[in-house]
Amino acid sequence: MGAERRRGRGRSVRAAALLGCGLLLAGCGSMPDSGDVSPVKASNPGDSQVRVYPVTPRENAEPDEIVNGFLEAMTGDDPGFATARTYLTKKAAREWKPEERTTVLMAAPVSRREPSGIRETQDRLVYPLHGDQIATVDSRHAYEPVRTTPYKGTIQLVQAPGPDGKGKEWRIDSLPPGLLLGESDFQRNFRSVNKYYFASGRRWVVADPVYIRQRQDPVTRMDPVAQTVKALLEGPTNWLDPVVDSSFPTGVALKDGVTSLTPDDQNKLKVPLNKKADNIGTETCREMAAQLLFTLGDLGSTRVDQVELQREDGRPVCLMGESQKENYRADPSGGLQANPYFLDASGRLAKLDARAENVGKPSRVPGPFGNGTVKIAKVAVARDERRAAAITDSDSSLRVASVVSDANVELPPPLLRSEGAKPEDRLSAPSWDGRGGLWVADRDPANPRLLYVPDGSEEPVPVAAPWLVDGVRIEALRVSDDGVRMALLLKKNDKTTLHIGRVERQGSGAKQTVQVVDPQAISPRMESVTSVSWAGQSRLVVLGKLAGGVQQVRYIQTDGSTSAAAMPGLNQVKVVAASNDERTPLVAASADDGIVRLQAGANWQPMVEKGTSPVYPG
Tell me how far apart the alpha carbons of residues 193 and 292 are, in angstroms, rounded to a whole number: 12
The CB density around residue 21, as the number of other CB atoms within 10 Å, is 8
Is residue 406 over pLDDT 90? no
Residue ranges of the domains in the chain?
14-189, 198-328, 341-615
Report d(CA 33, CA 31) in Å as an integer. Answer: 6
pLDDT digits (tens, 9 = 90+) for 222-254: 999 999 999 999 999 999 999 999 999 999 999
Confidence at residue 49, expressed as pLDDT on a 0 to 100 scale: 53
Could you tell me which residue, 11 or 369, shows the higher pLDDT?
A: 369
Rounded to 5 degrees, what are φ and ψ at 77? Answer: -140, 35
Q: Which residues of 251-277 are buried (b: 16+ CB within 10 A; e: fewer)?
A: ebbbbeebeebebeeeeebbbbbbeeb
567 CB contacts (<8 Å, ≥6 apart)?
A: 552, 553, 554, 555, 598
The full length of the chain comes to 618
Q: Does residue 86 have a pLDDT over 90?
A: yes
pLDDT of residue 571: 83
Over residues 397-408, the mean pLDDT reads 89
pLDDT digits (tens, 9 = 90+) for 9-62: 333 344 444 333 333 333 333 333 333 333 333 333 334 456 677 889 999 899
479-507 exposure pattern, b = at least 16 Cβ within 10 A, e = fewer: bbbbbbbbbbbbbeeeebbbbbbbbbbee
Given a cut of 60, whether residue 386 has pLDDT beyond it is: yes
Predicted confidence band at 113 (pLDDT cuts at 50, 70, 90)? low
Tell me which of 329 and 180 has the higher pLDDT. 180
pLDDT of residue 2: 39
How many Cβ atoms from other residues are within 10 Å of residue 99's Cβ?
14
**Where is average pLDDT lowest: 38-42, 86-90, 232-236, 475-479?**
38-42
Top-level CATH class of 341-615?
A: mainly beta
Q: What is the pLDDT of residues 138-195, one digit of tens each?
A: 999 999 999 899 999 999 999 988 777 777 899 999 999 999 999 999 999 999 999 9
In this prediction, residues 414-430 reach a mean pLDDT of 96
